[in-house]
Amino acid sequence: MTALEISGLAKEYVDSYSGDRVTAIGEVTFTVEEGEFVSILGPSGCGKTTVLNIIAGFVEQTAGTVKVGGRVVDGPGPDRGVVFQNHALFPWKTVLGNAAFGLRMKGIPAARRREIALEHLELVGLAGFENRYPHELSGGMRQRLGVARVLANEPAVMLMDEPFASIDAQTRRKLQEDLTRVFELRRPTVFFVTHDIDEAVFLSDRVVVLSRRPSRVREIVTVDLPRPRDWQGTTALPEFREIANHITALLSEGGDREGPELTAA
Ligand SMILES: Nc1ncnc2c1ncn2[C@@H]1O[C@H](COP(=O)(O)OP(=O)(O)OP(=O)(O)O)[C@@H](O)[C@H]1O
Ligand SMILES: [Mg+2]
């Protein structure tokens, strides 16, 4: 079953200062199947965040459609859960209160909310921290909480925009491995934005590679590496390097370079 269907998506922004039109997304089409992990990669400013924000319903597209579970979406909804780069947690709520927030909105009774939230905190490695407040957590722990909160709601699609970008390299590696473990255990449908090629290949079943602005899909690369994956073992596979090199080549072939050949597209 197709969980997420993006077809003919385009977005033109009008700059609020200059009034200039910016074509952020030229034409983007792809799907994400149920239980699939799909990443989107592309040069800075090619519209990755814009694609995610349109899927989330925060930004309206200029053309094209987004379908979740076969239904056209035209605004935010509980069927899409977003893990933000800078956490977006409630500072006045405890870790448990944050994890249970969406469940409360769904009208689930208190005892059951607590049970579900605790289960998901444990899943992401936050057992024992339920009574802390977000400011008492490290950046990596806040991202874990963001993941727990979204997963607890069982959205049809989980959306993540560079969730580990502002986290030190060592912690990031651990978060990538733990996200993979959680994914392999629960099989949520994930749409993940990144500009890190190794991260995209390690995490994903498929990688959508965009050109520079106005962006188009250059290629959708299948990552046929065995699961369960672990960073050391998986990145040491010759196939891993081949795929990563292929994507690097795609991005440098014009995708990541200023040049008239792509702006004329
Ligand atoms: N609200 C806005 N108004 C006008 N232009 C915008 C707006 N948001 C984004 N843009 C422009 O649209 C283009 C795509 O932006 P977007 O943030 O989607 O790119 P990105 O691929 O996520 O970049 P990065 O890799 O740096 O995060 C950029 O040129 C950006 O300046
Ligand atoms: Mg972005």
Nearest residue (CA) to ligand 1, atom 18: 47
Burial 69-80 (b: 16+ CB within 10 A, else e): eeeebeeeeebb
- State in Å: Cα 248 to ligand 2 middle: 19
Atom of ligand 1 nearest to the CA of 46: 21
| 52 vs 104, residue with greater confidence | 52
- Assess whether pLDDT exceeds 70 at residue 162: yes
Structure tokens at 125: 């490695």
Residue 257: the pLDDT is 46
Determine the Cα–Cα distance for residues 59 and 12; give it in Å rounded to an integer.
11
Residue 55 has pLDDT above 70, yes or no: yes
DSSP assignments along 39-53, one per residue = EEE-STTSSHHHHHH
Q: Which tokens hold the place of 105?
A: 């909105």
Whether residue 259 is predicted with pLDDT greater than 60 in this model: the reply is no
Best residue among 18, 20, 22, 209 to mutate for probing ligand 1, ranked by most atoms within 8 Å of CB: 22
Q: Is the pLDDT of residue 30 over 90?
A: yes
CA of residue 253 to ligand 1 center, whole Å: 22
Please tell me if the CB atom of residue 20 comes closer than 6 angstroms to any atom of ligand 1. no
Please, which residues have CB within 8 angstroms of residue 113's CB and are 6 or more apart in sequence? 100, 103, 104
Q: Whose CA is nearest to atom 5 of ligand 1?
A: 13
Under the banding of pLDDT at 50, 70 and 90, the label for residue 84 is confident
For residue 196, the model assigns a pLDDT of 95
The reported pLDDT for the residue numbered 258 is 45
Mean pLDDT of 57-63: 96
Distance CA 241, CA 40 (A): 18
Per-domain boundaries in the chain: 2-79+157-263, 88-154
Cβ burial, residue 32 (10 Å; 0-12/13-18/19+): buried
The predicted structure's pLDDT at residue 254:
59
pLDDT of residue 260: 41
Class of domain 2-79+157-263: alpha beta
Q: What percent of the chain has pLDDT over 90?
A: 81
- pLDDT (average), residues 203-207: 98
At 168, the pLDDT band (50, 70, 90 cuts) reads: confident
- Indicate the average pLDDT of the chain: 92
Q: Residue 261 pLDDT more than 60?
A: no
Higher per-residue confidence, 116 vs 15: 116
Mean pLDDT across 44-71: 96
Question: Exposure of 256 by Cβ count < 10 A (0-12 exposed, 13-18 middle, 19+ buried)?
Answer: middle
* Alpha carbon nearest to ligand 1 atom 24, residue: 44
Q: How far is the CA of 49 from the centre of ligand 1 (A)?
A: 7
Closest residue to atom 25 of ligand 1, CA basis:
44
Q: How many angstroms separate the CA atoms of 81 and 154, rounded?
A: 8
Question: Is the peptide bond preceding residue 260 cis, with omega within 30 degrees of 0?
Answer: no
Residue 227 CA to ligand 1 center (angstroms) comes to 34
